């Protein structure tokens, strides 16, 4: 039995298990508190409260959820693409600068070599290899577009429900996408995600976390770029 297979499932997948568990726990907390908040708003306008499960398809929940998800996927798509060609001296999140020790062609830049253990697109070659070579940014980009659309639909439904309660006419999709409210919801999340990216890029220049692959070694010079 190999060392890998003899290790526990949690040991081999602990990072994703813990992070996804935190996500689901906080999503459930958001769902419950959002359901209470939305029903409070409905009751204020003399409307019937939504059943617990029905809240899942409400504009209120869909908008709030995908408003955040779209900014996360946008952040990751842009970050993955920017790190291909841009550098930040001293950051653990950057490839090395020309002239630094270890600079040159890094592992992520080398041409893929087909082997029995390589992913099947690498073994297949052609268009499959081309797509696979950019699949990370493609997936993040697609997830951003899907989340953006769901945020838009959820916000449109939620805003139209509010307009109906006020006795005002509903907005069409074309009308709503030009409103400042929709773009305010998007930009307030986008800017915070770019701030968090800037923070990890810059803070890894000066600060360390022993044992984390996201940090440079504790004794690494401040001017040293890359992990």
- Same domain for 13 and 91, yes or no, is no
- Same domain for 199 and 88, yes or no, is yes
Split into its structural domains, the chain has a count of 2
- Same domain for 15 and 88, yes or no, is no
Q: Is residue 222 part of a domain?
A: yes
- Same domain for 29 and 141, yes or no, is no
In order, the DSSP letters of 114-145 are --TTS-HHHHH-HHHHHHHHTHHHHHHHHHHH
- Same domain for 49 and 145, yes or no, is no
**Tens digits of per-residue pLDDT, 130-149?**
999 999 999 999 999 999 99
Q: Contact, 43 vs 49, CB < 8 A? A: yes
Q: Is residue 131 part of a domain?
A: no
Q: Is residue 124 part of a domain?
A: no
- Same domain for 216 and 145, yes or no, is yes
Q: Contact, 193 vs 69, CB < 8 A? A: no
- Same domain for 85 and 195, yes or no, is yes
Q: Is residue 113 part of a domain?
A: no
Q: Is residue 111 part of a domain?
A: no
CA atoms of 26 and 75, how far apart (whole Å): 20
- Residue 100 binned pLDDT confidence (cut-offs 50, 70, 90): confident
**Tens digits of per-residue pLDDT, 204-220?**
999 999 999 899 999 99
The mean-pLDDT minimum among 31-40, 75-84, 107-116, 208-217 falls in: 107-116
Over 24-59, what HEC string results? HHHHHHHHHHHHHHHHHHHHHCCCCCCCCHHHHHCH
pLDDT at 166: 86
- Same domain for 24 and 77, yes or no, is no
Q: Is residue 14 part of a domain?
A: yes
- Same domain for 41 and 85, yes or no, is no
pLDDT at 33: 98
Q: Is residue 149 part of a domain?
A: yes
pLDDT at 2: 57
Domain membership of residue 52 as a residue range: 9-57
């Amino acid at each position: 039995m190999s060392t890998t297979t003899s290790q526990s499932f949690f040991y081999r997948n602990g990072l994703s298990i813990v992070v996804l568990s935190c996500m689901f726990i906080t999503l459930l907390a958001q769902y419950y508190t959002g359901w209470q908040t939305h029903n409070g708003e409905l009751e204020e306008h003399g409307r019937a409260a939504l059943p617990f499960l029905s809240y899942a398809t409400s504009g209120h929940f869909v908008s709030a959820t995908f408003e955040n998800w779209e900014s996360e996927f946008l952040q990751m798509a842009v970050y993955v693409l920017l790190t291909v060609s841009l550098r930040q001296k001293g950051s653990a999140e950057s490839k090395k600068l020309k002239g630094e020790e270890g600079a040159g062609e890094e592992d992520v830049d080398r041409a893929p070599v087909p082997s029995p253990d390589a992913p099947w697109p690498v073994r297949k070659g052609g268009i499959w290899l081309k797509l696979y070579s950019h699949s990370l940014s493609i997936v993040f980009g697609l997830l951003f577009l899907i989340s953006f659309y769901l945020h838009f639909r959820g916000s449109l439904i939620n805003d139209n429900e509010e307009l109906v309660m006020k006795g005002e006419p509903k907005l069409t999709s074309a009308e709503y996408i030009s409103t400042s409210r929709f773009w305010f919801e998007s930009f307030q999340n986008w800017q915070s995600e770019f701030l968090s990216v800037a923070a990890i890029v810059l803070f890894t220049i000066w600060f360390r976390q022993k044992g984390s692959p996201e940090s440079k070694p504790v004794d690494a010079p401040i001017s040293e770029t890359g992990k």
